[in-house]
Amino acid sequence: MVNVYTSNLGYPRIGKRREWKKALESHWSGKIEQAELEERIKTLRHEYLHTQVEKGVDLPPVGDFTYYDHVLDTAVMFGLIPKRFGHDGGPVSLDTYFAMARGNQKAVACEMTKWFDTNYHYIVPEWEEEMVPTLLENRPLRAFREAKRWGINAKPVILGPFTFLKLAKGFHPDQFSRLLLDTLTPLYAQVLQELEAAGADWIQLDEPAFVTDVTAAEMEWLHTAYSRLADAAPGLRLLVQTYFDSVSAYSDLIRLPVHGIGLDLVYGREENLASLQKHGFPEDKVLALGLIDGRNIWKTPLQKQLNLLEEIREIVSPAAWMLQPSCSLLHVPVDAAEEQELPSELAGVIAFAHEKLDELSILKEGFLHGQAVVAEVLQENAAAIETFDQASFRRIPEIRKEIANLTSTAFTRSHPFAERQEQQEKFYSFPLFPTTTIGSFPQSPEVRRARKKWRTGEWSEERYREFVQKETARWIGIQEEIGLDVLVHGEFERTDMVEYFSDKLTGFSFTKHGWVQSYGSRCVKPPIIHGDVAFHAPMTAEMSSYAQSLTEKKVKGMLTGPTTMIRWSFVRDDLPESEVALQIGYALRQEVDALESSGIAIIQVDEPALREGLPLKKHKWKAYLDQAVRAFRLATSSVQPQTQIHTHMCYSEFHDIIDAIQTLDADVISIESSRSHGELIHAFEEKTYPLGIGLGVYDIHSPRIPTEAEMLQTVERALRVLPPTLFWINPDCGLKTRREEEVVASLQKMVQVAQAIRQQWQKTITS
């Protein structure tokens, strides 16, 4: 009989009710000591492992759990601790670990950016000159031994050496092969040898970088590296796990000296299947197939996936089969059974982590013993999906017709930027280097309590509106006192920049406990796009107009762009994303018109997620960027030339998309540059950017107060390549997650920097 196993790649860290987040933040705020934090986290690990075993997972993972980020865990394990954190050798303390992730008053945090094309952020490893990596602590071994004490023979998960090095920064590309083969491989070999000695069997080496464009030289290095790892621990079975797309060099990958290969048959389905058909699969290796969508919340069409398994069984005969999700389940919420308030048709097709593990067991039974064994479950699954697909809210014919009839003028501003700039200079009379913020101000405990009272009915709509207006007025006053040039209303009525708008558009639904990790303890609750999206009433004009009535300075209207709405939602899978993007862009266009009509002359349409959605293979970039640009321009092109359109992006390698950013035709774009330690500026050193731009001068994700010298350094470097007459000064992201005292102190320093640089350049320009 063929051997069939179920395997999980990773489990959500946060808990059903965000217990993990609450424990971390209690420790950071000084409410609990480190010992209590560690005990709470241990309890969660125990619960998560036993849940997976109870769900029938044959190979549950360990080592996927973390106190902040799994990439940071790997860097710390190998001693990649930047000098500024003062580490003097030995295992890294939890305080140093958190300082690397969040920064402190003595040292800025390590860079943070998006994990491939997901909405999860990882901490970027820094490879400083003269740094000598060493194995400080075998973290996977510790996790394996803990699980063994609990009676579970788990599968340690380790970020693979190729991917880890691809994610790191600080070394020259010419050093890549040497660092991979001579520096990292021996450390990985030591990790594996210690796991082998402890009795481990399968080891999952995560190599999602294999789905990017891998060169022939890199594959040659990989064969050398993995040969050394296989030789170092011959008693281990190594599983090279890929996900997020199809592998780039399949025929080379399957020749690696490992015991199993993991392929994504959800997001890399067509290309990976074609590779299996063309090249086959080794009979001495285990084929691990990602059949359950680990990134979205829709139920798996079980019959379709069983048919796919049968199709693959006709063309390959691996040593064994491993059935698993397409990637780690950290990208989905924990348990759909917690959701009691969704529409019945929608509730019938939702699957969170727990339900996805149940689906794995069903696929195993059907594949191992025949589909007749699970026939009833297959029928129920198909019926639920069909009922949902036929629901009336799925399609709005009028919206589809209106979008189909749009002409090219709907995607183009009435005047080119040069003419708009001239009109805007006369209309606004901003000083040189105008200052502003990205939009949100602190969601204080008072704000959260007020929102809860309103939602539970303790407060009336009128009382809640009065509270929000009072908080808005207070922060308009604070901004004026600080001396900012363009103000914002603070977004106190908004929980989340996507959820707020989704709640006011058709086509969206919301969960109550559908939280996922974004970065560190930061969790988000993505909306579900289940049907056609349509505008039906102004969403922001009232509050923006109220804020504008309180001040003589200009107040920005704040919207979230169509690509970010998609990237930060769970998106319907029955319609191309390009069509969903146009529907959202068309709805936002009507909101932009409403803002302009109500007297708001500056409108910011944020697209922080635009870069993160860039496909992992370059040949797919153009179609994606064309889609994103088209949706943004549909949303923003109807305004008058003197109306200034802003946008914002964060945590991205913008040199990849400079041309697309320019094509958005926004009058001003603000971009993060502080967390990446100014690296973004290099992109503008290589390419002229002719539109207005604001580079974030300090990192808002860290609790530390930036120094004026740090901000001034960022500004001065940027002004070597960017025109001063088009340059804005702002933080690198919204300020919702920071405390009020941090925000005020940081903005005061930022304005002082702007005033100093303004005086300096005013003399230069006038002379």
672 is in an annotated binding site: yes
pTM score: 0.91
CATH of the domain at 692: 3.20.20.210
DSSP 125: P
Catalytic annotation, residues: 701
User: Domain range spanning residue 34?
Assistant: 4-332+343-392
Please, what's the largest Cα pairwise distance for the chain?
86
CA distance 491 to 701: 18
What is the three-class DSSP state of 634? helix
272 is in an annotated binding site: no
Helix axes 740-766, 461-482, angle to 10 degrees: 40
β-sheet bridge partners, residue 288: 262, 322
Q: Which tens digits make up the pLDDT trace of 335-380?
A: 999 898 898 899 999 999 999 999 999 999 999 999 999 999 999 9
- Answer whether 331's CB lies under 8 Å from 117's CB: no
438 is in an annotated binding site: yes
Q: Is the pLDDT of residue 60 over 90?
A: yes
577 is in an annotated binding site: no
Q: Which tens digits make up the pLDDT trace of 188-223?
A: 999 999 999 999 999 999 999 999 999 999 999 999
Query: For the sheet containing 528-535, what is the strand order?
Result: 505-509, 528-535, 570-571
Record the tokens describing residue 524, joined without a space: 């988000």
> What is the tally of structural domains in the chain?
2
Tell whether 730 and 584 lie within a shared domain: yes
Q: Is the pLDDT of residue 651 over 60?
A: no
CA distance 446 to 443: 8
Q: Is the pLDDT of residue 441 over 70?
A: yes
Which residues, 6+ apart, have CB-to-CB distance to 730 below 8 Å? 435, 436, 437, 438, 670, 694, 696, 697, 750
Q: Which tens digits make up the pLDDT trace of 528-546?
A: 999 999 998 999 999 999 9
440 is in an annotated binding site: yes
Tell whether 637 and 747 lie within a shared domain: yes
462 is in an annotated binding site: no
- Does residue 489 sit within a domain? yes
| pLDDT on residue 735 | 87
| pLDDT on residue 689 | 79
Average confidence score pLDDT of the chain: 93
Tell whether 430 and 372 lie within a shared domain: no
**Cα–Cα distance list, 4 to 57, 304, 736 (Å):** 11, 18, 48
110 is in an annotated binding site: no
- Answer whether 701's CB lies under 8 Å from 737's CB: yes
**Cα–Cα distance list, 580 to 394, 584, 628, 710, 746 (Å):** 12, 6, 11, 41, 39
- Does residue 337 sit within a domain? no
Tell whether 375 and 504 lie within a shared domain: no
612 is in an annotated binding site: yes
Instruction: Place 235 in a pLDDT band, splitting at 50, 70 and 90.
Output: very high
Listed residue (550, 423, 444) closest to 487, CA to CA:
550
Residue 89 falls in which region: left (phi positive, over 0), alpha (psi -120 to 50) or beta: left
Q: Which tens digits make up the pLDDT trace of 473-494?
A: 999 999 999 999 999 999 999 9
Tell whether 564 and 668 lie within a shared domain: yes
Q: Is the pLDDT of residue 677 over 70?
A: no
- Answer whether 14's CB lies under 8 Å from 67's CB: no
| pLDDT on residue 683 | 67
Place of tokens 């051997």: 3
459 is in an annotated binding site: no
- Does residue 738 sit within a domain? yes
Q: Which tens digits make up the pLDDT trace of 69-112?
A: 999 999 999 999 999 999 988 889 999 999 999 998 889 899 99
Q: Which tens digits make up the pLDDT trace of 493-512?
A: 998 888 899 989 999 999 99
What is the rounded average pLDDT of the residues 547-567? 96
Tell whether 520 and 444 lie within a shared domain: yes
| pLDDT on residue 700 | 79
491 is in an annotated binding site: yes
Amino acid 67 reads Y
What is the rounded average pLDDT of the residues 724-731? 90
The size of the chain, in residues, is: 767
Tell whether 133 and 191 lie within a shared domain: yes
739 is in an annotated binding site: no
| pLDDT on residue 706 | 84
Q: Is the pLDDT of residue 177 over 70?
A: yes
**Cα–Cα distance list, 297 to 348, 387, 571 (Å):** 11, 17, 9
Tell whether 256 and 156 lie within a shared domain: yes
Instruction: Place 671 in a pLDDT band, splitting at 50, 70 and 90.
Output: confident
Instruction: Place 760 in a pLDDT band, splitting at 50, 70 and 90.
Output: confident
Which residues, 6+ apart, have CB-to-CB distance to 344 below 8 Å? none
Tell whether 319 and 383 lie within a shared domain: yes
21 is in an annotated binding site: yes
Listed residue (485, 486, 586, 597) closest to 540, CA to CA:
597
Tell whether 421 and 366 lie within a shared domain: no
Tell whether 375 and 513 lie within a shared domain: no
| pLDDT on residue 717 | 82
522 is in an annotated binding site: yes
- Does residue 756 sit within a domain? yes
- Does residue 411 sit within a domain? no
Place of tokens 């922001």: 540
Tell whether 387 and 467 lie within a shared domain: no
Q: Which tens digits make up the pLDDT trace of 281-330?
A: 999 999 999 999 999 999 999 999 999 999 999 999 999 999 999 999 99
Record the tokens describing residue 280, joined without a space: 């086959």
Listed residue (236, 3, 16, 260) closest to 140, CA to CA:
236
